[in-house]
Structure 1
Amino acid sequence: MHLDLVFLWHMHQPDYRDHISGEFVLPWVYLHALKDYSDMAAHLERHPKIRAVVNFVPVLLDQIDDYCDQFASDCFRDPLLRLLAEPDPEQISGADRRLLLETCFRNNHATMLAPFPHYQRLHDVYTLLTRGDEAGQAYLSGAYFTDLVTWYHLVWCGESVRREYALPVRLMSRGGGYSAGERRQLLDLIGSVVKGIVPRYRALQDAGQIELSATPGTHPLAPLLLDFQSARESLPDARLPAAAVYPGGRGRVAAHVEAALASHARRFGAAPVGLWPAEGALSTVFVKQLESAQCRWVASGEGVLKNSLARHKIEQKYAAYRPWRLDDAPGITLFFRDERLSDLIGFEYAKWHGRDAARHFIGQLEAIHAGAPEGENPLVSVILDGENAWEHYPYNGYYFFEDLYGLLEEYPMIHTNTYAGWLAHADKMTPAALPGLVAGSWVYGTLSTWIGNADKNRAWDLLCAAKQSYDMVLGSGRLDARETAAAEAQLAICESSDWFWWFGDYNPSQAVANFDRLFRRNLANLYHLLKLSPPAQLEVALSRGSEAAQDGTMRRASEFADR
């Protein structure tokens, strides 16, 4: 007997572009490519016996392609890259200086600022001069800002990038006074890393080491697009938007799924075997729709399984460690995330020594294996973001992954696997029957992170109104084919789950403000593409967030407790 372990690393960023101006509003796509997508590929390349699923959302891949085009043309529509390339520091405008000060200290200071004395000194100078008086910024020279933008990119270089290329280490050792030529070299290195992301993962797939999966389109919360009432399956008293239903939701979900299958086939040679839906959010209706699209597997959170089993009064030990099939959709296999193990990696192991964390993780798997029903090989799914946790780890998680993957490669009882690999030998274990799903997501097993809060519900009402206008204009025939395609692409961006994630007073104010503005800008852009005037309420902020809230990019699946 053995244990099958499936890692699913979910790579996702929402669309940060203003599609009217073409400018990138936030830089997270290329920064995570430089730091996290490159490191995660390098960990797998160093450990060829490790199998894993890597999930790419099409809207992320579209933006990576966009950055590749910018580097190829040397024409940058991301302000931070433009400023890194600026040859004359004295030409940096006041607005760009403010942008750099607002942006270039935005990271985890414990792991990405404090370990670097020269970068810390830039921060100390900033706080000294601007303490209670913005006029102090006038004392900062052009050289200060070019050093600042250089250091910001240096600390966002992945650990694998620093180990492979001499340039980042040489510039870090220099400390400051970077010339235009050196900044140009750094810019070229960033371009090389970004352009290598998709080919590296394609090569890992073609070598049989990883399975590449996808998420529908722009990461929409499909159960809610299909039916707002699905939020009440797990929370009967959930408050819903004033709009009764999202107009044409079934067609929109189908469009997002079709877009994902086409995007994946174009980039990776074939349609994906399975999907990680946005936020692991499932409902019975959505699973049936995925089955009709020829998806063979889908994954979700353990809380969804627990709620579904409780609703149907099914008791089964180790339920999350076996696959399931819905009675109404027998052609698609369901896998469920181990919440505790995933949260250990996402939130706890960053505080541990890498070897201790790796041994503890393997000890948890040994306990699962020892308690499995007689004759069964348990299948354990560990699913989490492939980008957001690592800046909380020393060295971007390099030593944790070295220890974890290294130990797993040599551990005979644990077999790392992929879902497609498991399905190819599905005679090992017959999926259990599930009469129906209680709609929910990987967060708490509910949909409350995206609907129910007053701010979130107002956002849904604004989106529903925009969709009604979209349907009216397209039905009138006033747009030609090119204009129709642009409007549909903009609508898809507005349907992303990410905007709704950020609304609410439990998220940091600055992040809420950024995503609030971008959501309203996206809706306004949709109205412009429809040749309509945006409604006045799009000028009013939807949500304020909280000054006391911490990093909102990650959330636990449930309250952390030992089992």
Structure 2
Amino acid sequence: MAGVKAACRDRYVEAISSGFVGRAQGRRPASALKWSAPTQPRVDPVIHLVLCWHFHQPDYRTEEGRYFLPWTYLHAIKDYADMAAHLEAQPGMRAVVNFVPTLLEQLDDYVEQFRSGTIRDPLLAALIEPDLSRYPLAERRALIEACFKLNFPTMLDPFPGYRRLSRLWQAAFEDGDAAVDYFSNQYLGDLVTWYHLAWTGETVRREHGWLVELMQKGSGFDMEERGRLYRLIGEVIADLVPRFDVLGERGQIELSATPHSHPIAPLLLDFQSAREARPGLHLPASAGYPGGRLRVKAHIEAAMGVHESHFGRRPAGLWPAEGSISTATLDLFSKAGVRWAASGEGVLRHSLHHAGLDASHPYPWLSRPCRLTGQKTVTFFRDDHLSDLIGFEYKGWFAQDAVRHFLRTLEDRYRAVEQPDPVVTVVLDGENAWEYYPYNGWYFLSELYQALVEHPSVRVTTFSEYLDLYPKNVKVLPTLTAGSWVYGDFTTWMGDPAKNRAWDLLCAAKAVYDQHVKELRPARRREAELQLRSCESSDWFWWFGDYNPGDSVAAFDKLYRAKLRRLYQLLEQPVPASLTLSLSRGGGPAESGGVMRRGGHG
């Protein structure tokens, strides 16, 4: 088997070298790939580094159980599969991997779809549809548009066959729907095949050489080839959770969780918490979210149960949705037995400022976990600069240069900290950044992990391990200013008129829920509870606002209002007419398509 994989890898390297996937951007010559460790032992103090990868997808399912958006399974076969493989390839690497329960539940659902043969994701179903030309005109147009939703420079432009399909569509696009009739079943079949090929992870391609052969073929894909790709997708998804479970069992990673549906807990508890960091922020018309404390507790309890059912144990720590914390939120975590949480550097800076301490040089605080007086939960704070370098800057660098710069920056920032065993927290999405890296970040992550394992003065660790080794390094934080990892405040989710209207719609639905949920039969009551959880996700509020891309805003706007309508239907109550009106148009040029934000301004 090892020989087969090596041969597949060699064929892939030969193929990319020949130019079929374009210029080998992002990698140095082979002689420069290996990290060069210093020849003399270093005597610098050890810096403890925690890399925390956050795996999250909101629930994209509609009331019929159909998937409105395909991002869960696409990120599964590209990013989550690659992230597992990079860890498996470097056994000395340590990290924290955070699974949001809504992602785990959707992965389960996809596994069941493949098992049953009943596919409820339209894009995935199109991959094995023998006659795509039978689709109604609007569905064919939607399929074509869906198959061009990716980052062209790294996922389409390197492939001549895919580029050809794009040029044909662009040439016909100005003619509108009438032009769709000119696209044959073979064009549609090739397009949906290329889209799924482009979304396969780099490590998946290197293990399965026939994927590269399909890419080299370029066009004329038949049903046998499409079916083989479809089956591989099912296998990759089914293997994901077991692979990470094994990594957790052997102690290489710490598995953590997020309150169930990724809610902004401080805002559910108290809208006024948004003014702790931004005193003049415009709040929704509603006075607050009804029964928010019970809702946050429900999300915490559900997260513990989902995590334990998948990994056999409750998580020791939580990455709160969007790194959002407040004193009241940490109090609930503490009472739930949560050992650690993590948040953003901006929250720490605001807290130090409000405590009358020097917030301009936060490193002595940033390099220590903190605890509020009277609470058990310890909080680690994210280094925004280091995290954003990976999330935004290094995508255009040669991998070795990026790794060297990261390690130099890490050492420069923390070597001078006058306290032993500093801990540095780097947190970012485990999926969204890699679409903008050549080869899905393969060279960068491979070299980063190798360099970290070999580095003489940087020690990779996990949050729980650090607390086990250095319990006395926890500092008492005098006060906490509520906020998130984005700018240290809540302006990404509240304050904009569209975001505030969305909160008012949710508050109104929750009031109806509280009034009528006890009248329902137990099974229906359970269904309504699950639907309410989904409506409370942070993702809806993230997207509202004219600074985000219009197509993404429209999609999340439509899905959010559909979820609220479904909640009213489950409660057997009239659906308000306001839910027929869109909340936001979008149209802005947000960085990275709006899926990621920087931790700090500028």
Equivalents in 2 of 1:260, 1:414: separation in Å?
32
- Aligned equivalents of 1:496 and 1:327: distance in 2? 30
Q: What secondary structure does 1:203 align onto?
A: helix
For residues 148-169 of structure 1, the C-alpha deviation after alignment (integer angstroms, 9 at most, x for no partner) is 0000000000000000112311
- Partners of 1:132 and 1:555 lie apart in 2 by 36
Q: Alignment length, in residue pairs?
A: 554
- In 1, are the aligned partners of 2:137 and 2:180 still within 8 Å (CA)? no
Q: d(CA) in 1 for partners of 2:84 and 2:572?
A: 44
1:408 maps to what in 2? 452
Matched, 1:480 2:524: no
Equivalent pair of 2:513/2:571 in contact (CA under 8 Å) = yes
In the alignment, which residue of structure 1 is the partner of 2:262?
A: 219
Residue 324 in structure 1 maps to residue 370 in structure 2? yes
The corresponding residue for 2:7 is none
Aligned to 1:255: 298
Aligned to 2:59: 15
Opposite residue 310 of structure 2, the aligned amino acid is R
Partner SS for 1:372 = coil
Look up the match of 1:387: 431
Identify the match of residue 484 of structure 2 among 441, 455, 476. Answer: 441
* Equivalent residue number for residue 494 of structure 1: 535
Match of 1:266 in 2: 309
The separation in 2 between residues aligned to 1:279 and 1:548, in whole angstroms, is: 22
State the distance in 1 between where 2:274 and 2:139 align. Answer: 43
- Kept in 2, the 8 Å contact 1:88–1:180? The answer is no
Query: Is the CA contact (8 Å cut-off) linking 1:300 and 1:442 kept in structure 2?
Result: yes
Match of 1:312 in 2: 355
In structure 2, give the amino acid aligned to 1:537.
S
Q: Distance in 1 between matches of 2:330 and 2:132?
A: 54
How does the TM-score come out when normalised to structure 1? 0.97
Residue 424 of structure 1 pairs with residue 465 of structure 2 = no
1:349 maps to a residue whose letter is Y
Q: How does 1:444-455 map to 2 (within 5 A)?
A: 444-455=487-498
Moved more, 480-489 or 538-547: 538-547
Q: Distance in 2 between matches of 1:119 and 1:112?
A: 9
The alpha-carbon distance between structure 1 residues 201 and 317, as it changes in their structure 2 partners (threshold 3 A), is: closer
SS of 1:33's equivalent in the other structure is helix
The aligned counterpart of 2:15 is none
In structure 1, distance between residues paired with 2:175 and 2:129: 30
Quote the RMSD (CA, aligned, Å): 1.1
C-alpha distance in structure 2 between counterparts of 1:277 and 1:433, whole Å: 20
Report if the CA contact (8 A) 2:138-2:177 is conserved: no
Assess if the C-alpha contact under 8 Å between 2:346 and 2:487 holds in 1: yes
CA distance in 2 between partners of 1:21 and 1:480 (Å): 20
Partner residue of 2:511?
468
- CA drift of 1:132 comes to 4.3
1:215, CA displacement in angstroms?
0.2
User: Which residue pairs with 2:319 in the alignment?
Assistant: 276
Q: Distance in 1 between matches of 2:574 and 2:231?
A: 42
Amino acid of the structure 1 residue aligned with 2:545 = G
Q: Determine the C-alpha separation between the residues in 1 that align with 2:542 and 2:143.
A: 26
> 1:133 deviation in Å?
3.7
Distance in 1 (alpha carbons) for counterparts of 2:543 and 2:410 = 34
Q: Matches of 1:432 and 1:196 in 2, distance apart? A: 40
Task: Please give the secondary structure, in 1, of the residue aligned with 2:426.
Answer: strand
- The alpha carbon displacement at 1:431 in A equals 1.1
Unaligned runs of 5+ in 2: 1-44
The equivalences for 1:91-102 within 5 A come to: 91-102=134-145
Q: Is 1:54 aligned with 2:54?
A: no
The answer as to whether partners of 1:339 and 1:557 remain within 8 angstroms in 2 is yes
Selected match of 1:194 from 237, 246, 255: 237
Matched, 1:399 2:440: no
CA contact (8 A) 1:369 1:377 kept: no
CA distance in 2, matches of 1:29, 1:64: 7
Whole-angstrom CA distance in 1 between matches of 2:415 and 2:506: 50
Within the alignment, does 1:507 sit opposite 2:552 as a pair?
no
For residue 333 of structure 1, what is the aligned residue in structure 2? 378
Question: Are the aligned partners of 2:132 and 2:140 in contact in 1 as well (CA < 8 Å)?
Answer: no
Residue of structure 1 equivalent to 2:18: none
Question: Residue 171 of structure 2 aligns with which residue?
Answer: 128
- Listed one character per residue, the Cα deviations across residues 166-192 of structure 1 (whole Å, up to 9, x for unaligned) are 231121111111111111100000000
* 3-state SS in 2 of match to 1:211: strand
Q: 1:164 is aligned with what amino acid?
A: E
Map of 1:5 onto structure 2: 49
Contact 1:216–1:277, Cα closer than 8 Å, also in 2: yes
Instruction: Write the deviation string for residues 476-517 of structure 1: whole angstroms up to 9, x where unpaired.
Output: x42111000000000000000000000000000000000000
Match of 2:388 in 1: 343
Output the TM-score relative to the length of structure 2.
0.91
Give the CA deviation at 1:467.
0.2
Amino acid at match of 1:496: S
Tell whether the 8 Å contact from 1:212 to 1:272 is kept in structure 2 after alignment.
yes
| CA distance in structure 1 between the partners assigned to 2:232 and 2:289 by the alignment | 45
Q: How many Å apart are 1:549 and its aligned residue?
A: 4.2
Q: Of the candidates 228, 233, 242, which is equivalent to residue 185 of structure 1?
A: 228
How far residue 430 of structure 1 moved from its aligned partner, in angstroms, is 2.3
Q: Give the aligned partner of residue 13 of structure 2.
A: none
Shift in Å, 1:96: 2.6
Whether the 8 Å CA contact 1:38–1:161 is kept in 2: the answer is: yes
Which residue of 230, 235, 239 corresponds with 2:278? 235
Q: AA paired with 2:467? A: L
